Chain A
Amino acid sequence: MIVPRHYKEMPQRYRLQGNRCKACGKVFLPPRLVCPCGSEDLEDYSLSWKGKILSYTIIRTPPTQFKYQKPYAVAIVELEGGGTVQCQVTDTSLEEVEIGKEVEIVFRKIFSEGEAGIHCYGYKCRVV
């Protein structure tokens, strides 16, 4: 069921393809048709693959489809040049994950979808 849904989001998940408001400069992922400032004048914008951790948690009780990955860290990352994303922290020991740490975005498998077992890919981050 998730396959067509995932397919539609590939530009965002594979390339951080979002957009930016030409009126106020705010950056969005996923892209929006209208900015909270009221402007409908937005341009395509690829978000930076560098940023820092604004907050995080370590998930110890995951949903079923993530059960083989636990424990894992999920963070809110503020990207250089605007925009924020939420993603897993990978290639990093859990003790190293802290608010304010610099990270880079990397391309990874996120999970394999239920019965069909289709691999869903996207972005994670790692502490640099």
Chain B
Amino acid sequence: MRDVAVIGIGITKFGELWWQNLRELYVEAALKAIKDAGVDHLDSMYVGCMTSGLFCAQEHLGSLMADYLGQKHLPAYRIESACASGGLAFRLGYIEVASGMSDIVLVGGVEKMLTGADATFALASAADQEYEAFHGNTFPGLYAMIAKAHMTKYGTTREQMAAVAVKSHDNGSKNPNAQFPLKISKEMVLNATPVADPLGLFDCSPVSDGAAAVILCPVELAKKYTDTIIKVIGSGAATSTIALHQRDDITFLDAVYQAGKRAYEVAGLKPEDIDFAEVHDCFTIAEICCIEALGFCEVGQGGPFSEAGNTALDGKVPINTSGGLKSKGHPVGATGVAQIVELVEQLRGSAGERQVKNAKRGLAQNMGGSGGSSVVHILEVQ
């Protein structure tokens, strides 16, 4: 296996981008990444996307995106693992470069969600269609059931969950690409329109359009393009049962734990060695459960840990410096790649107002459905 570096990044604005369609979003991010890296060709491409079929009635994305990127004949693969599609695409691109099969690989993620299609219905296809969605449950509903169980088992409060949203919006207010770059108050979260009890509108990530892309190559070759070598030092992926009611403990995201454990093992690191992280905060309770499963705090303590400020920009382990899915936006297929983009910005020291001091190692954790799949990567600046 060869060492792999990320040498280019590109991202679009996230939000309600009514004037851009699926292919335009993807190509914008991909061209930015190609130019940022300075490469003159690609060997292959991975496209992470959850459900362009339900949102845009468009599949066959590998070919479509390669063609519109001006890369006809390029081998291109569309990768799907619900909201973890982008993270999984990154892992496969990493494996292709590490294996020696290809030198320069583009990994992109895209989702066009504001198309008039029923987003709640489309997203529910990441749940067990016949045994969860059939009964009228939704993604906010599934995470709300996790929240109710977490509150009952560990005493987690709505105020603690609100603290997560307030922190993420503080960070997002410093991110020009964020969909909602606005500071919010705890009262706004607590008094927001209820969506699925106990979660309100401000506990939920938004419905978004957007795309992100990165360029991977072997570390040896990366020296030709840049002096700042950002190396992928850990990668892990795992699955779990997608139906929430079939898990042994719905408050513990076992796929996140497993993916994290594998990534830490590959990197030879422990959670305390990580300087900052992007985690999959599709809902406030998700961030709490993810930081527990990744070992940033004790299991059950994610609520008080967050409320005490440990996850803020100047805290013990800054979480979601980009604003997270909550404030930056969550175009589902793009999210996992956008997390890598944020890691690279921080490791290059180019994150502007939201820069973490002495950021040497960052972790990105992407998750599908209610935790039925997860992908974790650890990047380090050399």
Contacts and interface: CB of A to CB of B under 8 A. Distances in A.
Interface of A: 5, 9, 29-30, 54-66, 69, 72, 74-77, 84-88, 99, 110-111, 120, 122, 124
A87 B136 CA distance: 8
A74 B146 CA distance: 12
A63 B121 contact: yes
A1 B138 CA distance: 20
Interface of B: 118, 120-121, 124, 130-138, 140-142, 144-146, 148-149, 152, 193-199, 243-246, 250
Interface centre among A59, A62, A69 (most CB of B within 10 A): A59
B250 to A, nearest CB: 6
Given A76-B145, A86-B131, A55 B118 contact: no
Contacts of B124: 63
Contacts of A85: 131, 245
B206 to A, nearest CB: 13
A74 B195 CA distance: 13
Contact of B133 (A54, A63, A87): A63
A74 B136 contact: yes
Given A63-B121, A86-B132, A86-B137, A57 B243 contact: no
A57 B196 contact: yes
A99 B131 contact: no
A54 B246 CA distance: 12
A54 B130 CA distance: 20
A64 B137 CA distance: 12
A58 B245 CA distance: 16
Given A29-B131, A61-B120, A61-B195, 16 more contacts: A57-B141, A57-B148, A57-B197, A58-B196, A58-B197, A59-B138, A60-B197, A61-B138, A62-B120, A62-B138, A64-B118, A69-B136, A74-B141, A88-B136, A99-B149, A111-B136
* Chain A binding surface SS class: strand
A99 B317 CA distance: 34
A56 B136 contact: no
B243 to A, nearest CB: 7
B163 to A, nearest CB: 21
Contacts of A86: 131-132, 135, 137, 243-245
Interface centre among B141, B146, B196 (most CB of A within 10 A): B141
In the complex, the 7 A-B pairs of residues with the closest C-beta atoms, listed nearest first = A57-B144, A55-B149, A58-B197, A66-B136, A55-B145, A76-B245, A84-B245
B148 A63 contact: no
Contact of B134 (A55, A60, A64, A122): A122
